[in-house]
Chain A
């Protein structure tokens, strides 16, 4: 295959090159997670209780699912700032139509609408060749505005209980949001690491011109990344709807920053080319665990924001030094 020829280092394969550079990154977030768990458990033994762990899983699931999709965009060297607005728009459209459509069609609507909004992002970024930062900044505003227009600024309360239970109840003792996160993680992992699309995504992020010359359909690949990010944001909005039983045009505000934080902390490079699906999920869980631990310790909620920001900085610094030491070898 042409790609292998273009990127193959001496005596190695494309796969081993890509996977090898990631181990230190996932190691970073794994160590951080272990340290966080140890520190918080010492300070508050309840942190390690099964209850709390499940709670953290559920709380992280909304951001983590959306972050999976954004990881696929970031690996191509792009970025999706509109993910929070997609969540908002999809959630109000679904909440409004849930009664008339029924549960299953609403699920399809959520994922389909999310994918469509992602398609718009992808088309303007890839086909019209605009910077994805600018495109998704624009759609961040457009989608949010549409959400407000759709509901005339009003929230929608009173969602059907059976819909909420579908997404919140437990199967085999584990709440469904965790199962859904698990499923989305596996699918995202397979896409990124075991499919031609994934190879294409990473190739585009590593060197777009080289990828194009080796026959990767760059535009289609980029568009696909945004479509998947949008679809996963749609799935995330279903989890959000079920969790609070309401939809508001402001739902999802600020998610883009949480999602990008999870992706960055998880070891994915904002430059593109290198990404870790598992890292993203661990990153989301790490941020959630820190917040939960601080809440359990009754730390001032504003201090929690500061701590979260500091952790993100540390994660990036650890990343940087891990890369430097690799380069020296």
Chain B
């Protein structure tokens, strides 16, 4: 028998055995403590530490939070924002800075922080789908002494190791917008389901009953995508529209364009598209134009980025649901400063949103002064 083959088989076995041996030594630890990681060194005296990533009985649904407050009511309830200590630094980990929505949100955060003489360090992943990269950035940022951490994870759980570390060292974590951590202790953002509902209501009021419509979703499994899609689909169906297709395009413009082109070819009587974000909506608008159907198929996006506003003015986009990212960024810093100052802030703080069409496209967006 060939000795090289023998040796290489042995090598493969070695790899497997080596890994198994290394791990089996630990397996005996964990079998006796199956519930949690309490055998690790970092937890406190309590048997299970509750963090923003501990799911509890049900995952936290921001749209139905019992302990929620509209951002306009916060000052009335809690008083002014506490003055931060000099040199306070806040860390912000965004999804991805290649999307104007998140750029605006980050700007809102930076500008608001500057008003209080506080700095916000903003980092993000290098793509909409680099979850490990986002986690790596977050964990690295924790080396700095931030007074609070603002997080907008790419998925419900990819930032959990960093969140747990931060809360373990008593750094408050504020979940901003999307995605939503399973047990987020503090969250700021718009009502995601309402995004979809607003779009559906517009289509119901402008399209004949029984019209065929389609949804282009964001990243599968992510809270905002799920809620927006559900809000739209439930409302549209109840309102007499026929949702013929619903496909994810991962917040990606090119993917959305291709998916839309396919759906247009499949359903020649299609009357409308609803996209979970503006980037994708613009891609869909391209597909609609390319098929010669501009004006015959409605395209409604979500987010309210500047390109969407321009597209509405030029007629390429029918409408968008603006969730005012700049304002959301501002509010998130205010809430962070309240948390740093020790105030008891309600678990969910809601920021506004509005359906933007040709009629109100030139109205100014609300911002905090």
Q: Which residues of A contact B (CB under 8 A)?
A: 46, 49, 51-52, 55, 59, 62, 103-104, 107-108, 111, 115, 153-155, 157-158, 161-162, 165-171, 173, 176, 179-180, 183-184, 187, 190-191, 195-197, 200, 216-217, 220-221, 224, 227-228, 231-232, 235, 240, 243-246, 248, 250, 253-254, 288, 291-292, 295-296, 298, 300-302, 304-305
Q: How large is the interface on B (under 10, 10 to 19, 20 to 34, 35 or more residues)?
A: 35 or more
Rounded to whole Å, the gap between the CB of A161 and the closest CB of chain B is: 6
**With A162-B30, A217-B2, A296-B141 already in contact, 10 other A-B pairs whose C-beta atoms are closer than 8 Å:** A55-B139, A108-B16, A153-B220, A161-B36, A183-B19, A197-B11, A200-B4, A231-B15, A298-B123, A302-B97
Contacts of A170 in B (CB 8 A): 40-41
B135 touches A (CB below 8 Å): yes
B136 at interface by CB-CB < 8 Å: yes
Q: How far is the CA of A234 from the CA of B125 in the complex (A)?
A: 24
Q: B155 contacts which of A103, A155, A169, A243 (Cβ < 8 Å)?
A: A155
The answer to whether B14 and A302 touch across the interface, beta carbons within 8 angstroms, is no
Let me know if B126 and A51 touch, CB within 8 A.
Answer: no
Q: With A166-B26, A220-B4 given, is the CB distance from A52 to B12 under 8 Å?
A: no
Contact partner, A183, options B3, B22, B139, B220, Cβ 8 Å: B22
The residue of chain B having its C-beta at the shortest distance from the C-beta of A63 within the complex is B132
Residue contact B123 to A217, C-beta cutoff 8 Å? no
Total A-B residue pairs with C-beta atoms closer than 8 Å? 171
6 contacts between A and B (CB under 8 A): A115-B12, A176-B23, A180-B22, A187-B14, A190-B14, A248-B221
For A62, give the chain B residue with the smallest CB separation.
Answer: B132
Closest to A163 in B: B30
Task: Check B156–A157 contact: CB distance below 8 A.
Answer: yes
Q: Are A165 and B40 in contact (CB under 8 A)?
A: yes
Which of the residues A59, A216, A245 comes within 8 Å of B139, measured between beta carbons?
A59
**B115 an interface residue at 8 Å Cβ cutoff?**
no
Q: Are A166 and B121 in contact (CB under 8 A)?
A: no
Instruction: Report the Cα distance A216→B3, complex, angstroms.
Output: 10
- Contacting pair B158 A246 (CB below 8 A): yes
- In the assembled complex, the Cα of A161 lies from the Cα of B36 at a distance in Å of 7
Q: Enumerate chain A residues within 8 angstroms of B22, measured Cβ to Cβ.
A: 176, 179-180, 183
B7 beta carbon closer than 8 Å to chain A: yes
Q: Do A197 and B7 have beta carbons less than 8 Å apart?
A: yes
Q: Which of the residues A154, A157, A161, A221 comes within 8 Å of B4, measured between beta carbons?
A: A221
